[in-house]
Structure 1
């Protein structure tokens, strides 16, 4: 099984990689790293959300399944078929070596999506499935368990095929296969990724193949390493990320068309916009559908305050006063530009705070390492630009500070980003605290916009009054 380091980025970079062994982490000073404007700000193009990167970072952050309170809605293909869910893994009658692997990974009982998806995925005859699942819901473990359950280890050819949008995401899924299959060594795994050079005509003997769409297609058609007609289970993971690249979408459909009629099709996506639905319907015939009933994102558990300041130095002093008065487990601080984030990180470090800095010019591996250290509590403060506003769930975060209020690319109030930012706290039913730094009349107008939009009062906080700061923490 592959143990190589990650690729620098997504498939564009993969195409230039000669061998997997040549993959390396991009150093900050690399000539080919992203260009930075003179003032350290990112261009609009660079600020675009990178779904693949966000998905990867989420996988790295989530060491355990998140306790998700969202309800599951199940739409079944055949209304006459007995629909059931499971509350324990024993009910699934798994092979003992797989059950042992499941427990070794720390799964004590199925998550909500696993309760409903696993009986469908393990049913005979096989049932197709389209499932919506956020990061941390245990969906990767679910489809990995399905693949491992359907494999016949005595047959030395690929029987399960899983495609992911990027090299890094493929390796993350591969790690789950390795962990869950720890006590099932007869089942082998191959990575179909660029740089993994294979000789034409040599048949793959591994039973499970995981890779990116372009390379999997090459292995099936050009190199004839895989006989697609022998595939029993086809998994298309991160469909919403996949279709962001037109080439991936076309390649995935071409792969699906080569598979046998009885092949089980499983498709997963975190979001289900119209474009994802259309794609899913083309790839998965006669599916069962599992959707998460999304709860309204609420700010009820988050206390919101603002602090009046005259300058960034003023903001920094207010920050120090907050830290001096209350006990903070971990905090995330959002800045508008990399330049401000770098300055603030330096100032807090001088004050003796353990600070982690996260920004968009960092390679994905560097970002992953920073987040992992923060998640593990090695740093108590994470300073970041918008790159981290979405999808980062760290249970210990008790305070979010908007050092700069979030704006869209036209400089207008960005309600959605505000919600995502302060939503980093108050997670998992815990109470949270959000503090907004206001340094101008324009900032105050923006803050009032957030108040009106969310219909939540944002109270003023005097950071010179230590008693008042202590009160807000209680």
Structure 2
């Protein structure tokens, strides 16, 4: 990652980030998703398929048996806990496994099973008797490459004849010694070195090329050009598969350069709604006043699990300490934590080991208009905006407000959102949210226990 220029704004206590740090966050958020979501998310998203040949019948599958996989791969699929294909897999796998090979551009969010899909395609196309690289997968970062490699190792558990090599930093190789592994996964710079400088890979022998996390890839300096250089070395008949969580214009332009004559699959994102969420605000004069209001809410109603959002790390740390003193089981999440630490905190909260999750905006760094990282925990019944969400310029952030309070009212249940208002400015911001979503946000007097009890019913 290149360092930001001298004029880039550095991260401060309020969580503001320079442009380069925002780019890094795209990869971080993607890695968090992979670490946390060990299973495919069950969703009702609609799949849109644009075929290269519109006259060809649309072919989809409802079971893995229909794909006529090698028995050892089918066993690996079931070993990983996949009982039936996900929405994206139903349509993508028949295209990826077709003969002759078909190119594919696919948009799908994390947790939809797309990594398992392209891994299955690579393992299916490999000829284990040939001791050279036949499938090449590139990821934007070292950590993301390792995560994809783990999926390959898990799915290929019963197919030991197929070997995997990691073309990543720190993996030193001698020049001119051809590698024998059939699948190579790595980052663009190292893969390019293995092809050109060290001549470890003969790109003309690659049958399947996968470019994962395309939206993250093009946000990282140099990766876009390196990816295109790799693609241009591949043979004409090589199958090209590109995946991205988002499809803004820059991603489309990149995809069109890398994947010729593609089929296209889009997994439409579910729209969040505030219809099942009761919204309230509490007038406060200080953070101590906010904390007392919070204690009154906890004293009056039963809360399964709660998420509390703060604007700064300092406030989050202070609030975590105060709630812990009151005997609450508290998890704290903030930007200075390593990605693995953050994943562990979220996993513990999801498992119910802590009942309160206090977080800064680290959960909702907006790296596109349609893809934000989020936590879906069925037991979350209350979301507290200890500080109202603002964008980097200090203006109301409608999208973050929606995603924050949308953590409650999930899975068809009713939710409760409480906003702490401590100034005339924050009241104006609250009114902005009220107007934008056309939803009444009622005042709550937290000194009146009877009133608090009513909102829980």
Query: Structure 1 pair 153/467, CA: closer, same or farther in 2 (3 Å)?
Result: farther
Partners of 1:240 and 1:304 lie apart in 2 by: 34
List aligned pairs for 1:37-52, cutoff 5 A. 50-52=25-27
Contact 2:9 2:18 in 1 (8 A): no
Q: Which stretch of the first structure deviates more once superposed, 152-161 or 38-47? A: 38-47
Report deviation, 1:462.
Answer: 2.3
1:136 is displaced (CA, Å) by: 0.8
| Residue 332 (structure 1) shift | 1.6
Question: How many angstroms apart in 2 are the aligned matches of 1:156 and 1:241?
Answer: 32
Q: Quote the offset at 1:330 in angstroms.
A: 2.3
Whether 1:288 and 2:288 are equivalent positions in the alignment is: no
Partners of 2:393 and 2:227 lie apart in 1 by: 36
Give the conservation status (yes or no) of the 8 Å contact 1:164–1:210. Answer: yes
Change in 2 beyond 3 A, CA 1:197/1:318:
same
Please list the CA deviations of residues 100-146 of structure 1 after superposition, one character each: whole Å capped at 9, or x if unmatched. Answer: 11111111111111111111111111110000000111111111111
Separation of aligned partners in 2, 1:31 and 1:398 = 44
Q: Measure the CA separation in 2 of the matches of 1:388 and 1:126.
A: 30
- Confirm or deny: 8 A CA contact 1:98 1:184 kept in the other structure: yes
The 8 Å contact of residues 246 and 371 in structure 2, kept in 1 or not, is answered as no
Deviation at 1:337, TM superposition (A): 0.8
Post-superposition Cα deviations, 1:31-51, rounded to whole Å, max 9, x if no partner, equal 999987589987787577711
Call closer, same or farther: CA 1:38–1:457 in 2, change over 3 Å: closer
**Displacement of 1:468 after TM fit?**
3.0
Specify the SS of the correspondent of 2:69. Answer: coil
SS at match of 1:303: strand
Q: CA deviation at 1:285?
A: 0.5
Which 5+ residue runs of structure 1 have no aligned equivalent? 1-25
What CA deviation, in whole Å up to 9, does each residue of 1:427-470 have, x standing for no partner? 34443221111111211111010000011111222223333333
1:76 aligns with 2:59: no
- Following TM superposition, by how much is the alpha carbon of 1:89 offset from its aligned partner in structure 2, in angstroms? 1.0
1:251-288, Cα deviation, whole Å (9 max, x unpaired): 00001111111111110001100000000000000000
Report the alpha carbon displacement of residue 389 of structure 1 after superposing the two structures with TM.
Answer: 7.5
Structure 1 segment 70-469 matched on structure 2, within 5 A: 70-386=45-361, 390-469=373-452
- Give 1:81 shift: 2.1
User: Conserved in 1, the CA contact under 8 Å of 2:13 and 2:314?
Assistant: no
* Partner Cα distance (1:310, 1:194) in 2: 52
Q: How many pairs align? A: 449
1:140·1:173 contact (CA, 8 Å) conserved in 2? yes
| Deviation of the 1:29 alpha carbon | 22
Q: 1:298 to 1:143 in 2, by over 3 A?
A: same
Counterparts of 1:297 and 1:458 in 2: how far apart (Å)?
18
CA distance in 2, matches of 1:95, 1:472: 56
- 8 Å Cα contact 1:390-1:421 kept in structure 2: no
389 and 115 in structure 1: CA distance in 2 versus 1, 3 angstrom threshold? closer
Cα gap change, 1:248 to 1:317, in 2 (>3 Å): same
Instruction: Give the Cα–Cα distance (whole angstroms) in 2 for the partners of residues 49 and 324 of structure 1.
Output: 41
3-state DSSP class of the match of 1:206?
coil
TM-aligned CA deviation for residue 363 of structure 1: 2.4
Q: Which moves more between the two structures, 146-155 or 273-282?
A: 146-155
CA apart distance, 1:471: 3.2
C-alpha offsets along residues 296-332 of structure 1, whole Å, 9 cap, x if unaligned?
A: 3321222211112121111111112222233333222
Task: Call closer, same or farther: CA 1:181–1:225 in 2, change over 3 Å.
Answer: same
> CA-to-partner distance for each residue in 1:354-395, whole Å, 9 max, x for gaps?
212111122223222222322232222221111998433334
Q: What SS is found at the alignment partner of 1:428?
A: coil
Tell me the alpha carbon deviations over residues 171-224 of structure 1, each in whole angstroms, 9 at most, x when there is no partner: 111111111111112211111101111111121111111111101111111111
Q: Secondary structure at the match of 2:281?
A: strand
SS at match of 2:7: coil
Give how far 1:156 is off. 1.3
Residues 245 and 469 (structure 1), Cα distance of their counterparts in 2 relative to 1, 3 Å cut:
same
The CA deviation at 1:422 is 1.4
Q: Is the 8 A contact 2:10 2:18 kept in 1?
A: no
Q: Which moved more, 1:243-252 or 1:373-382?
A: 373-382
Kindly indicate whether the alpha-carbon contact (under 8 Å) linking 1:158 and 1:207 is maintained by their aligned counterparts in 2.
Answer: yes
CA, structure 1 residues 33+173, in 2 after alignment: closer, same or farther (shift >3 Å)?
Answer: farther
Q: Hey, what's the Cα distance between the residues in 2 that align with 1:46 and 1:427? A: 31
Secondary structure of 2:302 counterpart: coil
| SS in structure 1 at match of 2:222 | helix
CA distance in 2, matches of 1:320, 1:31: 44
Q: CA RMSD in A?
A: 3.4
Change (3 A) 1:433 1:63: farther
- In 2, the alpha carbon distance for the partners of 1:299 and 1:93 equals 44
Cα distance 1:244–1:35, how it changes in 2: closer, same or farther (>3 A)?
closer
Cα distance change, pair 139–440 in 1 and its aligned pair in 2 (3 A): same
Q: Is the 8 A contact 1:61 1:375 kept in 2?
A: no
- Kept after mapping to 1: 8 A contact 2:33/2:373: no
Give the TM-score, by structure 1 length.
0.88
For residues 302 and 67 of structure 2, what CA distance do their matches in structure 1 show? 46
- Pair 1:325–1:156, CA change in 2 (3 A): farther
CA contact (8 A) 1:402 1:436 kept: yes
CA distance in 2, matches of 1:140, 1:472: 43
Distance 1:97 1:140 in 2: 18
1:154 to 1:326, Cα distance in 2 relative to 1, 3 A: farther
